[in-house]
Amino acid sequence: MTPSCERVARAFRRGLSSYHAEARVQARSAARLAEMLAEQGAGPRIDRAFEFGCGTGLLTQALRARFEIGDYLSNDLLAEAAAHLSPELRPGFRAGPVERLALDGRFGLIASGATIQWIADPRALLSRLCAHLAPGGFLLLGGFGRGHFAEIAALGAPAPLSYADPEDWPELLPPGLRIAAIEARREVMGFDDLPQLLRHLRATGVTGNARAGWGRGALRAAEARWRAEHALPDGRLGLSYVSVHLVASRPE
């Protein structure tokens, strides 16, 4: 793994046991992605699907609840993610960086939720993966826009690698794909104090690109600045999520 991959892997490994319960926005995003895919005419059966960054299975479960999927191949950076899959899906699981994963054959669906923002070169990855998208197949992606976690600038913390707004996606997709539907949704979570907010971030693994810890004085100063600039009407600290959902298709 590259140093960046190793940092992300360490952060998500620490948060793996808590992710499923804490990642409430990501769970709503997964449900919305499955809904959008159905709205664009996919299914009710998908013969072969590939999901990368499956994590604890939020999108996996949302897709399988809505569609009958034959052959389901999945991937995650962490080998431990396999334990969160249903037993019948574990033989189709492959661990490691998706950039290095070899695929064969064609898929009716290539999907990912809350992962693409950690990819250093999403255009190159999607070009390689979508070479395996069957005619009439769908690409389903959930990521985050550039307003996502805007308040974290108060901490001076590094952002993930690839935030992209809806208008950015036509340039990131490989030729031959048509955007069928795309949207951005913003919601703000509230936290009583900065330690609670940071525990939420750690529990969902999203501090995987950060390098530095926080001393007590720096934490107090960051909280005071956050409260002055990003307090909610009830006085809690606000944290913005900007989810971007994309459905693209390859014409038959």
Token pair belonging to 160 = 């993930």
pLDDT tens digits, the chain, 252 residues: what are they?
665 778 788 888 988 999 999 999 999 999 999 999 999 999 999 999 999 999 999 999 999 999 999 999 999 999 999 999 999 999 999 999 999 999 999 999 999 999 999 998 999 999 999 999 999 999 999 999 999 998 886 565 555 678 999 999 999 999 999 999 999 999 999 999 999 998 998 899 876 444 445 678 888 888 999 999 999 999 999 999 999 999 999 999
Whole-angstrom Cα distance, residue 24 to residue 212? 26
Identify residue 119 by its one-letter amino acid code: I
Whole-angstrom Cα distance, residue 6 to residue 133? 29
The DSSP output letter for 204 is: T
Through-space distance between the first and last CA atoms of the chain, rounded to whole angstroms:
37
Q: How many CB atoms lie within 10 A of CB 167?
A: 10
Q: How many CB atoms lie within 10 A of CB 2?
A: 10
* Residue 94, CA distances (Å) to 52, 98, 120 in order: 9, 9, 20
Tell me, what's the pLDDT at 211? 43
Tell me, what's the pLDDT at 58? 98
Identify residue 53 by its one-letter amino acid code: G
User: What are the tens digits of pLDDT across the range 73-130?
Assistant: 999 999 999 999 999 999 999 999 999 999 999 999 999 999 999 998 999 999 999 9
**How far is C-alpha 187 from the chain's CA centre?**
16
Q: Which residue has the tokens 């059966």?
A: 45
User: Length of the chain in residues, anyone?
Assistant: 252
Closest by CA to 172, choosing from 133, 108, 140, 125, is 125
